[in-house]
Amino acid sequence: MRAGELALWRGRLEEFAAEVFAPLARCDQRVKGWLYLRGLLLEGRRKSMQPMAERLGVDHQGLQQFMTSSTWPVEDAEPHRPPYGGLGPRLLPRYRTRPVSLREHVLAAGRGAGRSVTWRKGSKAAMSSHFVLLRVRLAGRRPKPAADGTIPLTWLIAQWPENEAEPVKYWISNLPADIPAKDLIRLAKSRWRIEHDYRELKTRLGLDHFEGRSYTGWHRHVTLASAAHLFLTEQRALPKAQARA
């Protein structure tokens, strides 16, 4: 948008910015927020802080401090409930923004938003890679909102190795928000362990060998097969017994 065109919208932009930045405690934060909106709306090939500051005629360090280190209040997202017109079924709550793919989420965050995580020791060396960890709300065709209509936050995990142009693997997890990154990745990467245990349960411990017709019998069979597997797992964790002389 050209400067002249933006000037015609100045009043509306100021009202919009006043509503958007009302939760910010300080007046200078609200002013910087308004300036940043203007910089994004104005014409320009780059919308990073320094070029925008030059177009706005302000110090880019002020914008940078506002965006990277000043304290912003954090509030939970709330769904928008469209007004009911009185005819037909009531509209369900929905979020104003369109859903985007996992890939879009991670690419928008950028590889720089990630970190290198070592999740376990391998047979030859420690196993590590670069991961981007984000908190997202799942959309899909049948999201599972809470009673108030909000969709809970979940973990989006993306493995993005150094030699790759984009992520190569994705995981979704409902583990707690305060879980350490190492534990989160270790659990995400434990699929091989789960597959190994399941194969052992079936081939060695007869998990699928039950031939009865009752749920109770099947349930107890599966329970005891799992108990047997637990026992084997505990034995492997013990130090090897000394051989007899």
Any residues with CB less than 8 A from the CB of 200 and at least 6 apart, and which?
Answer: 229, 232
- State pLDDT tens for residues 155-202: 999 999 988 999 999 999 999 999 999 999 999 988 888 898 989 888
86: left (phi over 0), alpha (psi -120 to 50) or beta: left
The answer to pTM > 0.75 is no
- State pLDDT tens for residues 6-39: 787 788 778 887 887 787 778 888 887 777 777 7
